[in-house]
Amino acid sequence: MSRGARRPRILHAPIDIGGHASGLAAAQRKLGYDAICVSLYPSPHGGSRAIEPVAPGAGPMAREAARWRLLWHAALKSDIIHLYFGESLLMPRRHPDLRIGKALGAAEIGRRLYARAIWGKDLPLLKALGKRLVFSFLGDDVRQRAYTESAYEISIARYADPDYYPPRSDEWKRRVTRLAEIYAEAIFAYNPDLLNVLPAGSRLLPYSHLFAGDITPATPGPRGGPIRIAHAPTHFGAKGTSFVLAAIAELRAAGVAFEFDLIQGVSHEEAIARIAQCDLFIDQLLAGWYGGAAVEAMMLGKSVIAYIRDSDCAWVPPDLRRDLPIMPATPDTLATVLHDLLARDRGFLGQRGQESRRFAERYHDPVVVARQVMAVLDPAA
């Protein structure tokens, strides 16, 4: 950046899934940028970092009024608009389809017609105003049922409920991908499998929601009793929870001693506190990569198990792949992997947990991720 040049003003919007948008905005502020995150929807993982202009319990009219104010802000006060979860600012519905195989009421038809009328129309407008657009895709916002069913033996599409991916959602995902290809100067993906369906030149980005300085590793002293395993699904089908429960039942039937904590239906704060008490954390078993909960467990210094799809690792930077401390398992091998780990000394899991913490600090601290992003968006800085 030349002397005296103003750094770009950055808006992260319109949704803060998993706290990644607000975490990246906070990290960019630490680097000296004017960056904010505005979420039109509740952000339970954002730690109050996101601006939420829609009051809890407010109706759809309040959200739509906030949506148009957000577009006005983007047009007047932002240089870079970083969009998340397959949504532009004018997408009240990501998939406003009228052909869903069931009857729709008049009010719902009206909402969908409104959503279709404005769907993505902000992108050419903002581009014409000289704004720089960036897309970050997080997972099922762009993951396509047809592709994953045909390409992978293990996938969410193969095992989740039939209605997990709504009818014709693949078509709408392809549409938003095309918009990103046309209007965005940079496209990021938080899961490597997404790069199989995103435009050439898209980049893998590590999760960016948890600052290393905000979470202390949970390293209790030696304790007796059995090893504690935890699993914290946000969706039973998508996370492969049925396979986790089956493996737990198999080990219990074999007389293996351990404790198991299924963490569900609690606040994010309580989930973190319970993960801190475990020795071993089981993350997701179908997506082919680890999720945000695994990063939280690693920041807490815990050993983590997840399904890592080898074929997608071609998209992963070699140093990250080399350092990845996650212990791999599939739905079929999980019981065996757990049995072998439970037969080990607890010190092995403690050592692996220390490796997890070092990995999370090196690759997932939002400041580290923000530097990667700004090396693309502001390379002269």
Q: Are 180 and 222 found together in one domain?
A: no
Q: Are 190 and 235 found together in one domain?
A: no
Whole-angstrom distance, CA of residue 380 vs CA of residue 357: 32
Q: Are 82 and 225 found together in one domain?
A: no
CATH number at 337 reads 3.40.50.2000
Residue 186: strand pairing partners:
134
Non-local (6+) Cβ contacts of 377 within 8 A are 8, 80, 132, 134, 185, 186
Asked whether residue 259 is domain-assigned, the answer is: yes
Question: Which residue do the tokens 């993906």 mark?
Answer: 189
Sheet holding 228-231, edge to edge: 259-262, 228-231, 280-282, 303-306, 327-328
Range of the domain at 136: 9-211+366-377
Q: Are 172 and 224 found together in one domain?
A: no
Asked whether residue 176 is domain-assigned, the answer is: yes
Q: Are 62 and 201 found together in one domain?
A: yes
| Interaxial angle between packed helices 366-377 and 20-30, expressed in degrees from 0 to 180 and rounded to the nearest 10 | 80
Q: Are 206 and 191 found together in one domain?
A: yes
Would you state the pLDDT for residue 39? 97
CB 302 within 8 A of CB 218: yes
Average pLDDT, the chain: 94
Whole-angstrom distance, CA of residue 202 vs CA of residue 297: 28
Q: Are 166 and 301 found together in one domain?
A: no
289-327 confidence digits (pLDDT tens) = 999 999 999 999 999 999 999 999 999 999 999 999 999
229-270 confidence digits (pLDDT tens) = 999 999 999 999 999 999 999 999 999 999 999 999 999 999
Asked whether residue 3 is domain-assigned, the answer is: no
Asked whether residue 355 is domain-assigned, the answer is: yes
Q: 82 — phi, psi (to 5°)? A: -105, 115
Asked whether residue 155 is domain-assigned, the answer is: yes
Name residues of the chain where pLDDT drops below 50: none
Would you state the pLDDT for residue 218? 84
Asked whether residue 1 is domain-assigned, the answer is: no
Instruction: Let me know how long the chain is.
Output: 381
- Amino acid identity at 244: V
Instruction: Compute the chain's Rg from CA coordinates.
Output: 21
Q: Are 181 and 240 found together in one domain?
A: no
CATH number at 90 reads 3.40.50
Asked whether residue 274 is domain-assigned, the answer is: yes
CB 35 within 8 A of CB 377: no
Q: Are 323 and 282 found together in one domain?
A: yes
Q: Are 171 and 222 found together in one domain?
A: no
Would you state the pLDDT for residue 190? 97
Q: Are 94 and 206 found together in one domain?
A: yes
Residue 51: strand pairing partners:
38
Whole-angstrom distance, CA of residue 13 vs CA of residue 89: 7
> Which tokens sit at 279?
């020795």
Q: Are 138 and 229 found together in one domain?
A: no
Asked whether residue 334 is domain-assigned, the answer is: yes
If one counts the domains in the chain, the total is 2
Burial of 84 (0-12, 13-18, 19+ CB in 10 A): buried
